[in-house]
Structure 1
């Protein structure tokens, strides 16, 4: 079977990446796909470039940037494929990428999500992502990040959920659990969707031969204060919506423990926390965190309502969820001391 695949690409002033990304898609062995490009108010001539050079692509042009979640939802709503693929604009796909992704997705009716093997564009075989791992406080990190690809992830295997940088989602799953949560704006929205899919009983699998090359945070900036704000705010909503009640009660203690480790990491000049502080200042970082928690707590009543719906409809019991969390758990040490 060769089902139609809908590839959704978001773009915001990413003209410097588009030729590489879109030309690699033209070279795909698998041909039955459509491309939908959502432009979030670019001012760098991106839309004109795509119209002139890639007339087969459907373009949705937003006047301003509605965020990753809402823009992807726009693409999903107009897409026609049996499977939906989200792909960052700062990527280059191997010619067999889509074929391998679809092949794995069709191996089991309950596979709702497929992760690509994402390598950094550096050319050093450095892994960016082979799925996503989850910490007990809801923070996430790309599985395998920073490792050299030596074949250690070359088997088809379950993962917690994929990174939306280059992920396949089954339309049937999306129709059951709903779209990306648009309140997230950007970051953690793929983790939220992945956890909702898992709780609904769907599987997530790595397709190791579906290879994508990625400029990490080529669009958003690797250590921007805006990114830090969104990640800190959104992971709170992620936990409230999806985590078992007992972990929800332990969340303040896990978060305090993480902050202590991050403070030590900053003093030791290690990890992502130090990089964020280095880009700004300690005061800027602390202010960003307070702002994130203030805005997250303002919307807690709404997210508690969302939680009730998810928990009422879930098919995965807490006794089935905990083994998954143990298997794909991100340690606090890895979270705080690695970049």
Structure 2
């Protein structure tokens, strides 16, 4: 009997060790036999290894004194991973029994590059957050979460979700590392594009799901999130869109005035800064979120 392939789970913690502990509990209970788990503790001055090992004894903890962002921290984790498959999981997710085994089955289909589970909201598990992504619209630079199930076991998606995606080591060697320029948001869309440029497919298993406590690190609608989503939306389109001038015209004439006049002061400031950094300062990577605060 062939041994189950080795899977490396990589997750990033950012000042949320109790949340990460919930993930570790679920991994411990998932039952997969050939597994290694790597936590990249982002912007960590100490060492919480003993705490994490209370929940998963063999977990490997990598401490980074710098905030490397989502992509940078995952790339650091990959350097320590030894599995044939890498399973990227947000630390605010919880894994169920049979998820890993089912996702591995997806790679038996020719041309499969990445596989995702269904993602459900932890606070309301009956509600689906992700069952795929629609294409990004060439004018608006936006896409939507597909939240509908079909009567098939598998479905294709244009992009994978960074909260839970499994990719083989060989495929990542072809794609290259996760793009760090974005720092936060849109990096998985860009990485998905790299994968599809190789002619590979992204599959979603409709047989298994995970729970996701969405946006715990950044807040569901924080100025920080508005800044990075705005800046990186423009950056992504500049890198990937065939009709970038048409997108830019639409953005400046429609999206910019709409957001400036409809958002709160703090969110409008973050939006404006995201636009300026993307268009005029060409900034990517980390930006200090403290600058988004507005005094009372």
Same fold, TM exceeding 0.5? yes
Equivalent-residue separation in structure 1 for 2:101 and 2:270 (angstroms): 42
1:258 is displaced (CA, Å) by 3.6
Note closer, same or farther for the CA distance 1:293–1:227 as it changes in structure 2 (3 Å cut).
same
**Cα-to-partner distance string for 1:98-126 (whole Å, 9 max, x where unaligned):** 11111112322x21111210000123411
**Cα-to-partner distance string for 1:119-157 (whole Å, 9 max, x where unaligned):** 00123411111122323333344321xx7xxx5475301
Report the equivalent of 2:248.
252
Asked whether 1:142 is paired with 2:145, we answer yes
Greater helix fraction, Structure 1 or Structure 2: 1
Report the equivalent of 2:61.
59
Residues 131 and 204 in structure 2, CA contact (< 8 A), matched pair in contact too: yes
Equivalent-residue separation in structure 2 for 1:176 and 1:182 (angstroms): 17
Asked whether 1:119 is paired with 2:115, we answer no
Report the equivalent of 1:233.
231
The worse-fitting range, judged by mean Cα deviation, of 3-12 and 125-134 is 125-134
Residues 106 and 115 in structure 2, CA contact (< 8 A), matched pair in contact too: yes
TM-score (norm 1): 0.75
Note closer, same or farther for the CA distance 1:140–1:62 as it changes in structure 2 (3 Å cut).
farther
**2:241 is matched with which residue: 225, 243, 254?**
243
Equivalent-residue separation in structure 2 for 1:90 and 1:129 (angstroms): 15
**1:210 is matched with which residue: 194, 202, 208?**
208
1:18 is displaced (CA, Å) by 2.2
Number of residues of Structure 1 aligned to a counterpart in Structure 2: 279
TM-score (norm 2): 0.86
Residues 45 and 65 in structure 2, CA contact (< 8 A), matched pair in contact too: no
Report the equivalent of 2:182.
184
**1:220 is matched with which residue: 218, 226, 230?**
218
Residues 161 and 205 in structure 1, CA contact (< 8 A), matched pair in contact too: no
1:208 is displaced (CA, Å) by 1.3
Report the equivalent of 1:24.
26
Equivalent-residue separation in structure 1 for 2:31 and 2:283 (angstroms): 48
**2:268 is matched with which residue: 286, 289, 292?**
286
Report the equivalent of 1:201.
199
**Cα-to-partner distance string for 1:12-70 (whole Å, 9 max, x where unaligned):** 11122123211111122332121110001247975441144423011100113211010
Equivalent-residue separation in structure 2 for 1:51 and 1:253 (angstroms): 52
Note closer, same or farther for the CA distance 1:153–1:73 as it changes in structure 2 (3 Å cut).
farther
**2:13 is matched with which residue: 4, 11, 14?**
11
Note closer, same or farther for the CA distance 1:153–1:232 as it changes in structure 2 (3 Å cut).
farther
Note closer, same or farther for the CA distance 1:48–1:227 as it changes in structure 2 (3 Å cut).
farther
Equivalent-residue separation in structure 1 for 2:137 and 2:259 (angstroms): 14
1:211 is displaced (CA, Å) by 1.0
- The answer for unaligned runs of 5 or more in structure 1 is 267-276, 303-339
